[in-house]
Structure 1
Amino acid sequence: MYLYDLPTTGSVSFVDLCIDRSLDKAYTRHISEATQARANLRGVLKDSKRTDHGEKDFLSLVKLIEEYLPYIQSIINCFAHDEIGITGEPTFSWRSTLSANIFNNSPRMDVPGLYADYAFSLLTYGFALCNLAHITVNSVGGYEQNRAITDVERRAKEEKLNVALQFLCRASGVFTYLSETVLPEWETNRGTTPNFQKPPDLSREVSNALAKMSLADAQTIAIRRLLSKSAYDSNVSPGPPLPPSHRPPPLLAKLHLECANYYSSARTLAMSLGSKEVSGNLRKYLSNQATMHSALSHKWLGVDAGEKGGSDKAGDAIAFMQCAKKELEELKDGGKLVSIGSAEKEKEEKWKDRINTELASVSSFLKYYKKMNDTVHFQPVPSQQDVQAKIPNGILAIAAKPYVPPSPAFGPGSIEYTRRKTEQLEIAARSSSDVSDNHGIAPGTMPTSPTASYAGAGAYF
């Protein structure tokens, strides 16, 4: 799973930027609260920059972003309805973390407009959810390798994986909302800042790529959960044949195929801005994961042919395994991560261990199927081109959770705004009634002529 570097941001005072134009100055207090909410977010991002990843409190960050988002939405809405004025076009300072830079130094840039801050806040929200999923998965450890684990303990670990999966599905929804709603609205409502170019972080292509990557990461966890019990059984009795608890190999192959498709599609989107625009670490991660899942899909197609295909599929089993082995060996030789610092080196070591583990598994199956074919089946091994024609379509087992923006903290669309407007209408109605009473006219009646009381009244001459 990918671990994002979090951006940092400069300080902003909405009290200085915003002018309350509401009739009763109802937003002054809320504008001050918005400044405080953003200051809280800025503070935790600043502290996070100085803290090792393993010690960062991503859950607190998620909550602080969730507290701030309704305020920036409210200010945007109030400005659109002319209930809040802005003293010139506001500028927000954010540090870009997905840009390709020498020595991985994240550049700080000034981004103009309220939508810029809204977009960066949502982007950071997605990052935080993904990182929260990352540390949740890390906390589980390699429990599948523990031969002494009980069923209760294993189910508890699986539940944690499910929590991480949900974080990633939420992140995918956030990135999609950013790409399909917020960034287009920003384009529509952009100010007049000349020569401003959005960083890659806030391009629709990269946001879409992040949405796909988060979903692929989530499916990777789903596959791990599916294999949890059988992985334990395989530890007790390693190698072919598969244990009875094992999930159907064709299903696993299709799940891995879709992961490979999503990672590959995400990489294509990220590369569409130019090979030097987006972080090399991100591009390498997407490339590595696409190759890994492609290899694993070939592995399980080979296992299906070898275990269930009978004599006729013996050659296919070998061909698929050879394809998987070739891809894993290419990863081992050229799939290195960009390593700077101890944390990155540790990630690279884990990545190497995973490649070696999968390579050992594929080699074991390949050796077994070759032996069976050489002594029992005697089937020809098809070419790689013929094998590619037999690959099925992938399937997606999980879905992104659509992001639903929270209700604004104040202003149009908020509960308080609706209540205040209702009260104003009621007051106006009562005032109208009082005016009618002061003129001696009962509501719903028409005035009548006064009764005549003088001499000769009513007599006509």
Structure 2
Amino acid sequence: MAPYLFPYPTTGPVTLSNVFVDRQLAYSTELAEATVARTRLQIALKAAAGNEPGSSALAVLEAVQVYHPYLRGIIACLETDDLLVKGELAFPWKSSLTASLTSNSVLTFPTIEAEHYYVVLAYSIALANYAHAILNALPRFEAEPGSKAVPNIIVEDAQKTNAGLTRAVDLLSQASGVADWAAANVSPGLEPARQATGGRLGRSKWPVETGPEAFRALSMVLLADAHITAIRKLLLPVLAHQLFAPPGPPLPSNHPSASLLSKLYLYVSELYTSSAALFKVHEATRSSSSGRKLFSGIRKDRELPETDAADSEVIPELKRYLRKEALLSSALAYKWLGVDAGENSKGAKVGEAVAWVKEAQSRLGELEDGKVADRMKGLSLGKGGERRKEARKVRQGRVDRELADIAAWTSAYTKMNDTVAFQPIPPASTLVAPPGRPIFAAKVFTPPAPKFAPLERSSEDSLRKVEPDAKQEEASYAGKGSYF
């Protein structure tokens, strides 16, 4: 169940005063403070990546919030030559989203833009994972598949769940906004270094997450996860009906519009599908093999070369997540299109309702198909094996509940059509879904002001150190104030 729990990138130690030359001896204190802040981030990422006791997404968020303004100050001073580079830059980072690099040694990037890239990536991931932690701690009302136990819903738990869902939606939409900003303002800075190195770092390719489309893809995943969480909140008032009333018609009077739900799920499915396509495009464009069509239904008119090595592929867990969530969301969209046709047409579209819910049932059935189920399974090796196994259990329970619900709607509409309406059931190929629609956009990210600025040059060629404006430093920062 959304949101996806992302693995963290990690980094090695760097002493910034050994990397940069402070020509005017104006930034000794700032470079020392920046090194401390970076070390704090390094420790937080290592702990979170290893799921060590006491580690948390919150610690990563706080560490990024401290280090990012220093990093922006360094970049600004490099652009004005107030800071110079000693020898060659070497920023060590370990990939977390590239299939064959996740267990390999740390890669050394020869550019400050890569450092900036991974710091922002870590921040976006930490926001998403913090949302995941909040949702994971909420009361669970759903009964286990096959269990006859009746869930106990109390007012306090319902209030806690509502607040947690609201907070998670906010964090995920902020994370999506960070990724959007990085796609436009950080990703382009990597291209000169990528071209200069021929797309390789030693024996490895540049990781897939550093590709020009990766942050766009990441933003789509996060926005889709935010919408799935918002739909959970939208359905919260009718949770008791879903748990205690038999599935199928009629809907309770306070139920959200079936038409709205269908369009939301269609939009979510489009986001997951487009995200997978963007990752796939990057894999293909970084290879040199002959062409084939990628991701049926996306960019059908464009031939792209096939990937030539595993180290250009995004991790299989994320690929499976995108494939599964896209399919599940489309199935739920079709279910609600059927319910809308059956409940709101005064009996004029019962045949169409049957067609929609049967197509939804078929799509959900694909998630139970042996071949697809095998592709959906996460790896059971390593430290995260038990966590992935638990996630699969929750995910399958969700599919089982939806299958039971759709089966009830299918049975009800089929019986109505066979005994009352007698309408033809249109083929699935003739069904035309409306366009999806969002209920919010990614939150616009305002980066923090640099912790220090380039030296000010007067008309007499004298230099003066500019102290940062305290008010400017308090600029809006994604997640600021929402997790303390």
Name the counterpart of 2:108.
110
Per-residue deviation, 1:234: 2.6
> In the superposition, relative to structure 1, how do residues 195 and 152 fare at CA in structure 2: closer, same or farther (>3 Å)?
closer
1:290 matches 2:326:
yes
Name the counterpart of 1:317.
353
Per-residue deviation, 1:306: 1.3
Name the counterpart of 2:220.
212
Query: Are the aligned partners of 1:130 and 1:167 in contact in 2 as well (CA < 8 Å)?
Result: yes
Residues in 1 aligned to 2:23 and 2:33: alpha-carbon distance in whole angstroms = 17
Query: Are the aligned partners of 1:34 and 1:72 in contact in 2 as well (CA < 8 Å)?
Result: yes
Q: SS at the partner of 2:21?
A: strand
Query: Are the aligned partners of 1:285 and 1:337 in contact in 2 as well (CA < 8 Å)?
Result: no
Per-residue deviation, 1:142: 2.5
Q: SS at the partner of 2:213?
A: helix
Residues in 2 aligned to 1:60 and 1:21: alpha-carbon distance in whole angstroms = 34
Pairwise mapping of residues 94-173 of structure 1 onto structure 2 (< 5 A)?
Answer: 94-101=93-100, 105=103, 107-143=105-141, 148-173=152-177
Kindly provide the CA deviation profile for residues 257-290 of structure 1, in whole angstroms up to 9, marking residues without a partner as x: 0000000000100111236421111111111111
Q: 2:253 aligns with which of 224, 244, 250?
A: 244
Per-residue deviation, 1:339: 2.9
Residues in 1 aligned to 2:396 and 2:409: alpha-carbon distance in whole angstroms = 20
- Larger radius of gyration, structure 1 or 2? 1
Pairwise mapping of residues 156-195 of structure 1 onto structure 2 (< 5 A)?
Answer: 156-188=160-192, 193=197
Query: Are the aligned partners of 1:259 and 1:290 in contact in 2 as well (CA < 8 Å)?
Result: yes
Residues in 2 aligned to 1:61 and 1:18: alpha-carbon distance in whole angstroms = 25
Per-residue deviation, 1:148: 4.0
Name the counterpart of 1:261.
270
> In the superposition, relative to structure 1, how do residues 325 and 417 fare at CA in structure 2: closer, same or farther (>3 Å)?
farther
Q: 2:265 is aligned with what amino acid?
A: H
Q: 2:318 is aligned with what amino acid?
A: L
Name the counterpart of 1:73.
72
Query: Are the aligned partners of 1:129 and 1:167 in contact in 2 as well (CA < 8 Å)?
Result: yes
Residues in 2 aligned to 1:280 and 1:299: alpha-carbon distance in whole angstroms = 28
1:203 matches 2:211:
yes
Residues in 2 aligned to 1:106 and 1:219: alpha-carbon distance in whole angstroms = 35
Name the counterpart of 1:8.
10
Q: SS at the partner of 2:51?
A: coil
Residues in 2 aligned to 1:164 and 1:128: alpha-carbon distance in whole angstroms = 12
Q: 1:17 aligns with which of 7, 16, 19?
A: 19
1:306 matches 2:342:
yes
> In the superposition, relative to structure 1, how do residues 375 and 74 fare at CA in structure 2: closer, same or farther (>3 Å)?
same
Name the counterpart of 1:339.
379
Name the counterpart of 1:447.
none
Q: CA RMSD in A?
A: 2.3
Question: When the two structures are superposed, what TM-score results if normalisation uses the length of structure 2?
Answer: 0.81
Query: Are the aligned partners of 2:128 and 2:172 in contact in 1 as well (CA < 8 Å)?
Result: yes
Per-residue deviation, 1:8: 1.2
After superposing on structure 2, the runs of 4+ consecutive aligned residues of structure 1 that deviate more than 3 Å are 143-148, 150-153, 188-197, 416-421
Question: When the two structures are superposed, what TM-score results if normalisation uses the length of structure 1?
Answer: 0.85
Q: SS at the partner of 1:291?
A: helix
Q: 1:227 is aligned with what amino acid?
A: L
Residues in 2 aligned to 1:65 and 1:174: alpha-carbon distance in whole angstroms = 13
Q: 2:21 is aligned with what amino acid?
A: I
Contiguous gaps of at least 5 residues in structure 2 = 144-149, 285-306, 457-463, 470-484
Query: Are the aligned partners of 2:262 and 2:333 in contact in 1 as well (CA < 8 Å)?
Result: yes
Query: Are the aligned partners of 1:113 and 1:191 in contact in 2 as well (CA < 8 Å)?
Result: no
Name the counterpart of 2:362.
326
> In the superposition, relative to structure 1, how do residues 122 and 370 fare at CA in structure 2: closer, same or farther (>3 Å)?
same
Q: Tell me whether 233-242 or 73-82 shows the greater mean CA deviation.
A: 233-242
> In the superposition, relative to structure 1, how do residues 107 and 171 fare at CA in structure 2: closer, same or farther (>3 Å)?
farther
Name the counterpart of 1:351.
395
Query: Are the aligned partners of 1:316 and 1:382 in contact in 2 as well (CA < 8 Å)?
Result: yes
Q: 1:158 is aligned with what amino acid?
A: N
Query: Are the aligned partners of 2:452 and 2:466 in contact in 1 as well (CA < 8 Å)?
Result: no
Per-residue deviation, 1:94: 0.8
> In the superposition, relative to structure 1, how do residues 279 and 127 fare at CA in structure 2: closer, same or farther (>3 Å)?
same
Q: How many residues align?
A: 414
Identity fraction in percent: 34
Instruction: Answer 1 or 2: which has greater helix percent.
Output: 1
